[in-house]
């Protein structure tokens, strides 16, 4: 089995655990850049929604995995897209973010985790930026 098929193979989460959309092992997969949008409203989500985009770096191949989620105010999440590209193409994500800001009437906060190399560093940075908790398996 190739590393790619292992990457996308996920076991079903235990009932008491939330589904893990992003998996970091700090050996071959690392956080790169994450974005979180402001809340917006539309006919599908009159109570509000936001976007979360996760850029995960896979080494040594230097591939960026991008996952865009749309999250409703009740916490329900839906995958908008999930793709991979060489790190050299990473700057094109700025175009995606600008398009979402315009089309969904949101603005994004960008969190650069590209220098993070361990769970402890990631957790400390997440607390520093105001994230309440992370999920670790």
pLDDT of residue 4: 36
Length of the chain in terms of residues written: 137
Listed in sequence order, the DSSP H helices in the chain are 3-8, 93-104, 119-128
Please name every residue paired with 35 in a beta bridge, in sequence order, or none if there are none. 53, 110
Prediction pTM value: 0.79
pLDDT of residue 13: 47
CA separation for the pair 71, 111 (Å, rounded): 18
Alpha-carbon Rg of the chain, whole angstroms?
Answer: 15
- Using CB atoms within 10 A of its CB, is residue 49 exposed (0-12), middle (13-18) or buried (19+)? buried
pLDDT for 21: 81
d(CA 77, CA 125) in angstroms, rounded, equals 24
User: What was the pLDDT predicted at 19?
Assistant: 59
Backbone angles phi, psi at 56, to 5 degrees: -115, 135
Beta-strand (E) ranges in the chain? Answer: 29-37, 49-58, 63-72, 77-86, 108-112
| pLDDT tens per residue across all 137 residues of the chain | 333 334 344 444 444 545 568 889 999 999 999 999 999 999 999 999 999 999 999 999 999 999 999 999 999 999 999 999 999 999 889 998 999 999 999 999 999 999 999 999 999 998 888 876 544 44
Peptide bond into 60 cis (omega under 30): yes
């Amino acid at each position: 089995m190739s590393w790619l098929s292992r990457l996308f193979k996920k076991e079903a989460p235990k009932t008491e655990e939330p589904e893990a959309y992003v998996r970091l092992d700090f050996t071959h997969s690392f956080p790169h850049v994450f974005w979180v949008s402001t809340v917006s409203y539309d006919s599908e989500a009159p109570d509000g929604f936001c976007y979360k985009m996760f850029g995960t770096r896979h080494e040594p191949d230097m591939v960026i995995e991008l996952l865009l989620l749309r999250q409703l105010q009740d916490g329900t999440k839906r995958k908008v897209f999930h793709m991979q590209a060489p790190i050299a193409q990473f700057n094109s994500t700025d175009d995606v973010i600008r398009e979402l800001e315009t089309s969904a009437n949101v603005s994004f906060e960008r969190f650069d985790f590209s220098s993070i190399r361990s769970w402890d560093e990631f957790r400390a940075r997440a607390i520093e930026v105001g994230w309440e908790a992370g999920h670790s398996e």
